[in-house]
Structure 1
């Protein structure tokens, strides 16, 4: 098996004016007062720091796409390396082009489309393992069968040619070196690649007639290990997925923390296209304090208004064609919703796939509902769809503010702002939500905020 390094991926506009109160009626409903704050577009969107951050984000996506087409097998970090340049050259040669090590726009677009098709072909999505809360990327079309117990979960193909295991156990005084040695013990396992770091380990090689890849780590006495087994005949299909899974694996997702979380230099969220002329609904926090806001695939966006109390922001892109605005009419979820969004690149190996996760609803006094479990980072701003396939609201991730021990922190960090509140906000800001599409996946876009 080619060497694969475990990787940790490292990765909106302006100041508010005076608040104003605006009232807008909704047909068949009592008018509500909506708090809005007009926003002026940023005067300066291309400082050197912004350019550097966006360039790194572009390299991250490039490495991911090269990995998905089988040309790159290193750490997906967004950093420039000889490995990445050589992978570009090999890709160019495979396509009959000149191996310059730099992709022209046509080559880059073709690579991205090929990678996207490969992700779609294996059913790539980010899931939360039900017993541990660990997050990992799963090729759901390759391993459609899932079973869970107190010790973890297992995903398998119908014939057993591909198997993915997430295991959890208690271990006294664990160390990465000790855990790596324990993983070498199963009979028939021949290790040909080993990485041992203070906080994690990676092994790969042959286990009988199958190839295997193991990545494990620990926190306190809790050990969590991801194991991938696959027949050698499936190597061309599975190996790029293994690289993506290594980068996406998050065994101990961050929980509630004391005080406000640090703002990211580059932050990713989801937006919902709500009108044909480029109006996009997004999370206020994701798009706050940005030097530049970009909507992936469409370019720069202006932030025109926000509702601080409900956490909503209004963006607009200009000159975009082929938008498929979502119909916002009629949804009324009761017990659960499907949240449609785009997980952070760190959660999906640099990719930008649209995912759907199920969450239960618990009403709270504000009129919003908490979402349990909360969706992954990047989903904030995604659409919540009810059991009839209609828009029920917008899903927002809320950083927990904890004064005492984390054990006393709230268990939910996500809310759904209901559809009625969303429609009020849009009308208060002169947006005619004229969407007619019921395809929530086609209506969501990735929103990228770049800060200092």
Structure 2
């Protein structure tokens, strides 16, 4: 079915059975991403976006010291921190809050030993050598080896001490622990055999026995993590000129203490297409759904929801001079200071917009979030909680519409944390406040359209995303 090239919607993947646990599939990305959800209308004013944090001199000093080292050494330090159990993010060589805190945590742990350094976040030469030696010792103890998988062509690291059983499976390789409680499967699909949309939809499917805690769909990779009553799973797939390649790692919760660290190491070792350039974006087809207006260069400050021709409702920061949509100035028609809502007059794409749900969502209800991004709308799934929206949302998702599984609007994301933390290179699900139905109805007035009461059949994530992709636009502040 044709779809806009910029639409990052969900698709379907046959899940791999993993070592006696519930089916699981896992994806790790070369950077973060997300499930979304909605929540009941909140009482009182919605929280305003947080002010920028004051620069931290200790952090900046640690950054300068870290970035003065060669890239290979920076990566080696981060990898050693993973094996030391202090770092749970992507090994990139770039310095951030997670690296700073990981180094500090390792220094605290080593501080009780003779010659231990203070927790400054800065490694001197002896401390760096000690950290690298500790990481290498832990890697060797796990017999962790990153090597090409002949069955798929991808490169992946395998803790062979734990996963000692190896066998061929259809399209890939399986490594398994002797008790069958930990399983790593690789899989390769030839060009045209399947695509990321198809793999993502089934990877992100939820059941009463299977909860997805994080999901992300980007043009060239997908990530899904989750839990079953007895286990955890982590899924990663990547697309390239040679097709789609990925891996699934699942393990019993009883082994979480060791496996949560090994998952990060395996994910960081994953190279889907060694020596190949990444796959270019697919050509734009003749779309059967409205193509969203491309956002201006750079990430959107917030997400705006089209409420009608040249009408966009957004949650703007306290100071948003000269808002722009699709690179053009947008005029503020009215604002509500208590909720942060603003109605803009700006360029809007054609196509339908979601109508308000007849009633607030109930805790535990599954939801979908559509947010504006550099490459077009991103789609995440999640669930409602009493305190708001549980979802791992990316920057730019402020103001993103939260929809129920019938495509009806439950609210808008009110704000995001100023400094979100990554776990294994992805944003974990967090609770985000919402601008709820009551505030939206009061603000939009006669421009608000509400769905009739009564049950409506649920739709697939891909159907909802395709229907309303053109209803979200990036809104930038200050040009």
What TM-score range do you get, normalising by the shorter chain?
0.3 to 0.5
Higher relative contact order (CA 8 A, sep 6+): 2
Query: With structure 1 as the length reference, what TM-score do the two structures score?
Result: 0.43
Q: Which structure features the higher share of strand residues? A: 1
Query: With structure 2 as the length reference, what TM-score do the two structures score?
Result: 0.41
